[in-house]
């Protein structure tokens, strides 16, 4: 049984008070807090095992190498990848997407090739393709939204063509929480000979994700959005796809043999992990995954659905509050974007902060989507495993006071 009160005891930061009130943290889409198990894992590595990996015969180096490689295995198992060879550690989802753009895009794309995105992409899954549009002369196309905040998939056969080399799509919108049918999109692009990259920064932390079932060619996500440390993320790639790619960074750790004028490179994933890696981050990441595995991702999803369903119902009944995106909790993760009539979104966030409630305000690194919604920015409340109904009630009370209905 999922016990949120037991979970909360593992997060020291939740004991903090902000302006005399116990912290309520609803900014989980930006980053999540870390349980003591993750903090101890990182600290324990530095206390007992600190050494560089793959570079030494001494015991500390052997221990560090084993922990680092086991972290790849832990991530692979978590998303049902084939094995560690499909798991490349990078610093975040942004670098993972850029790695595909530079390792695959720069070398493979030609003028006239097409890449398809959606209007709800995070800037990290848009700017690399804009660069290739300018640098390589490719054509960038977009899947639009329906009025309810879901993707309009009716015209996919016209948008995705034989010229489409890649579809780069978010699994879950970081602004309105929409869960996209990336499997259906992937089937169409594969039928036309292209690849699919899934930005899973907002899905892997919140719901069960199986890369074999989705049949994606690439997937990107970050540890810090799923209880892990900052500075480490994942590029998943199908083994045959990664084996066909050249590296995008060069240096120690990724080579097979080096001469003065020519070098050969190691096999994936090491081919794409040049330089000293974030070993402590990998250890902390593995601890975060073990923590989530113990809870069960199905329980994570069900808990967020409960929170989101309650909060949405109450907010939709408030006068002067506009909520953006799908209204069905089964079609979104725990993200609610909204505005209050007569108030700037930043002012609403400031008032909530004065009451000890942390939310995010602005365009959320997704300006095209926010403009598509017809606003300059929104307030975003996002939930995770340590949030409670009582916290949402306090949030709603402050919101009612802002609207004058409390």
DSSP 385: T
**What number is the average pLDDT over the span 202-220?**
98
Report pTM. Answer: 0.97
Known catalytic residues?
365
Q: Mean pLDDT over all residues of the chain?
A: 97
Among the residue ranges 207-221, 327-341, 376-390, the one predicted with the least confidence is: 327-341
Answer yes or no: is pLDDT of 269 > 90.
yes
Using pLDDT thresholds of 50, 70 and 90, give the confidence band for residue 330: confident
Q: What is the DSSP string of 279-348?
A: HHHHHHHHHHHHHHHHH-HHHHHHHHHHHHHHHHHHHHTSTTEEEES---GGGB-SEEEEEETTS-HHHH
DSSP 123: G
* Predicted local confidence at residue 405, as pLDDT: 77
Give the span between the Cα atoms of 28 and 26, in whole angstroms. 6
**What number is the average pLDDT over the span 372-394?**
98
Give the span between the Cα atoms of 144 and 125, in whole angstroms. 15
H helix count then E strand count, the chain: 15, 17
Give the span between the Cα atoms of 178 and 122, in whole angstroms. 13
For 49, the token pair is 């095992």
**What number is the average pLDDT over the span 288-309?**
98
Could you identify the residue written with the tokens 């939930």? 383
**What number is the average pLDDT over the span 194-203?**
98
For 86, the token pair is 């499909």
Delineate the domains of the chain, giving CATH numbers in brackets: 4-26+297-403 (3.90.1150.10), 39-293 (3.40.640.10)
Given a contact cutoff of 8 angstroms between Cβ atoms, the answer to whether 82 and 76 are in contact is: yes
* Predicted local confidence at residue 55, as pLDDT: 79
Strand (E) or helix (H) holding 198: strand 195-199
- Sorted by sequence, the CB contacts under 8 Å of residue 283 that are 6+ apart come out as 41, 42, 44, 45, 67, 68, 71
Nearest to 300 by CA among 208, 170, 223, 389: 208
Using pLDDT thresholds of 50, 70 and 90, give the confidence band for residue 311: very high
Instruction: Mark out the alpha helices in 168-266 (DSSP H runs).
Output: 182-191, 211-214, 239-243
Paired with 59 in beta bridges are none
How many angstroms separate the first and last alpha carbons of the chain? 35
pLDDT tens, residue by residue, 342-359: 999 999 999 999 999 999
For 61, the token pair is 């180096």
Task: Establish how many alpha carbons lie within 13 A of residue 365's alpha carbon, considering only the half-sphere containing its beta carbon.
Answer: 11
Answer yes or no: is pLDDT of 329 > 90.
no
- Sorted by sequence, the CB contacts under 8 Å of residue 258 that are 6+ apart come out as none
Answer yes or no: is pLDDT of 172 > 90.
yes
- Sorted by sequence, the CB contacts under 8 Å of residue 13 that are 6+ apart come out as 23, 25, 33, 34
* Predicted local confidence at residue 56, as pLDDT: 83
Give the span between the Cα atoms of 282 and 68, in whole angstroms. 6
* Predicted local confidence at residue 406, as pLDDT: 64
Question: Percent of the chain beyond pLDDT 70?
Answer: 100
Answer yes or no: is pLDDT of 68 > 90.
yes
Answer yes or no: is pLDDT of 93 > 80.
yes
């Amino acid at each position: 049984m999922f016990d949120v009160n037991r979970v909360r005891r593992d997060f020291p930061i939740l004991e903090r008070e902000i302006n005399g009130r116990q912290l309520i943290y609803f900014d989980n889409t930006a980053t999540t807090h870390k349980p003591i198990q993750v903090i101890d894992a990182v600290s324990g590595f530095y206390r007992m095992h600190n050494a560089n990996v793959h570079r030494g015969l001494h015991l500390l180096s052997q221990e560090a190498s084993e922990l680092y490689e086991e972290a790849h295995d832990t991530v692979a198992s978590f998303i049902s990848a084939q094995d560690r060879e499909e798991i490349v550690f990078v610093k975040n989802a942004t670098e993972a997407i850029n790695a595909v753009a530079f390792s695959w895009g720069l070398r493979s794309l030609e003028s006239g090739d097409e890449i398809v995105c959606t209007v709800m992409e995070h800037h990290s899954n848009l700017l690399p393709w804009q660069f290739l549009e300018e640098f390589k002369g490719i054509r960038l196309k977009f899947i639009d939204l329906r009025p309810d905040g879901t993707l309009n998939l009716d015209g996919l056969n016209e948008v995705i063509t034989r010229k489409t080399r890649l579809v780069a799509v978010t699994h879950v919108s970081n602004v309105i929480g929409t869960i996209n049918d990336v499997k259906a999109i992937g089937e169409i692009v594969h039928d036309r000979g292209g690849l699919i990259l899934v930005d899973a920064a907002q899905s892997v932390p919140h719901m069960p994700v199986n890369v074999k079932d989705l049949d994606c060619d690439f997937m990107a996500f970050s540890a810090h959005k799923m209880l892990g440390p900052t500075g480490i993320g994942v590029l998943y790639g199908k083994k045959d796809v990664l084996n066909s790619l050249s590296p995008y960074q060069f240096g120690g750790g990724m080579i097979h043999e080096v001469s003065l004028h020519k070098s050969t490179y190691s096999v994936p994933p090491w081919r794409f992990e040049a330089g000293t890696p974030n070993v402590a981050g990998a250890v902390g990441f593995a601890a975060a995954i073990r923590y989530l595995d113990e809870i069960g991702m199905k329980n994570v999803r069900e808990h967020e659905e409960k929170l989101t369903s309650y909060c949405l119902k109450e907010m939709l009944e408030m006068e002067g509050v506009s909520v953006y995106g799908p209204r069905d909790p089964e079609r979104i993760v725990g993200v609610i974007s909204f505005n209050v009539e007569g108030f700037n979104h930043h002012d609403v966030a400031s008032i909530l902060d004065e009451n000890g409630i942390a939310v995010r305000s602005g365009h959320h690194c997704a300006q095209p989507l926010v403009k598509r919604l017809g606003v300059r920015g929104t307030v975003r409340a996002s939930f995770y495993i340590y949030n409670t109904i009582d916290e949402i009630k306090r949030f709603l009370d402050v919101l009612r006071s802002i609207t004058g209905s409390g």
